[in-house]
């Protein structure tokens, strides 16, 4: 029996990202990466190949508001934890018609009637007193058990993950999305 809040494959498919581009940072396609967590729902990080995060989302089939649990997990994944602010988290409920026909049929055939709760975390770019624009980056290196979110100047060639170290490591892509080493 699945854990309460777990999403069926038809709902996971309906919530899968259809693509898009990183318009403000670069013009490259957004990559969507699923992330495992102690929560039963579906985590997705939408970031460009250089590691600049567009949005992070968590979806769960529940009546309760999962925002508090999502905030706790995101704070554990962020350096520094105060990077996750309450006003950057948005809660939405997605119902059958928004998710497509297959998901609508699935939600209509299973009880009780409820939609899918989705918490979105979006951190907009900021300018410091020095005038430099900073954006949210993510590091997915294998040595991390979880993703690491951090803020860095958007113009940096290789955004340094505060957990990995200050310099680019072998196996790193252009600006911070580390993978598979």
Per-residue pLDDT of the chain (181 residues; tens, 9 = 90+): 456 667 888 888 888 877 777 766 777 888 888 898 889 999 999 988 888 898 899 999 888 899 999 999 999 999 999 999 999 999 998 887 888 888 888 887 876 667 789 999 999 888 888 888 888 999 988 777 889 999 988 776 556 788 877 554 444 444 444 343 3
What is the total residue count of the chain? Answer: 181
In a domain, 174, yes or no: no
Asked if residue 90 is part of any domain, the answer here is yes
CB atoms closer than 10 angstroms to residue 93: 13
C-beta of residue 49 within 8 angstroms of C-beta of residue 28: yes
* Cα–Cα distance measured from residue 124 to residue 157, given in angstroms and rounded to the nearest whole number: 20
In a domain, 139, yes or no: no
Q: Could you tell me if residue 112 is inside a domain?
A: yes
Number of domains in the chain: 1
């Amino acid at each position: 029996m699945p854990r309460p809040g777990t999403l069926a494959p038809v709902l996971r498919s309906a919530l899968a990202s259809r693509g898009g581009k990183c318009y403000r940072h670069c013009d490259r396609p957004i990559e969507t990466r699923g992330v495992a967590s102690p929560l039963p729902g579906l985590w997705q990080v939408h970031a460009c190949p250089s590691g600049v995060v567009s949005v992070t989302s968590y979806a769960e089939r529940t009546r309760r508001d999962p925002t508090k649990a999502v905030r706790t997990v995101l704070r554990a994944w962020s350096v520094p934890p105060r990077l996750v602010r309450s006003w950057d988290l948005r809660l939405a409920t997605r119902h059958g018609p928004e998710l497509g026909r297959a998901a609508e049929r699935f939600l209509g055939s299973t009880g009780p009637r409820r939609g899918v709760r989705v918490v979105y975390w979006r951190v907009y770019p900021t300018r410091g007193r020095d005038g430099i624009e900073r954006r949210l980056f993510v590091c997915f290196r294998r040595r991390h058990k979880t993703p690491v979110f951090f803020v860095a100047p958007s113009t940096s060639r290789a955004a340094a993950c505060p957990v990995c170290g200050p310099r680019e490591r072998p196996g790193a892509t252009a600006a911070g999305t580390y993978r598979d080493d």
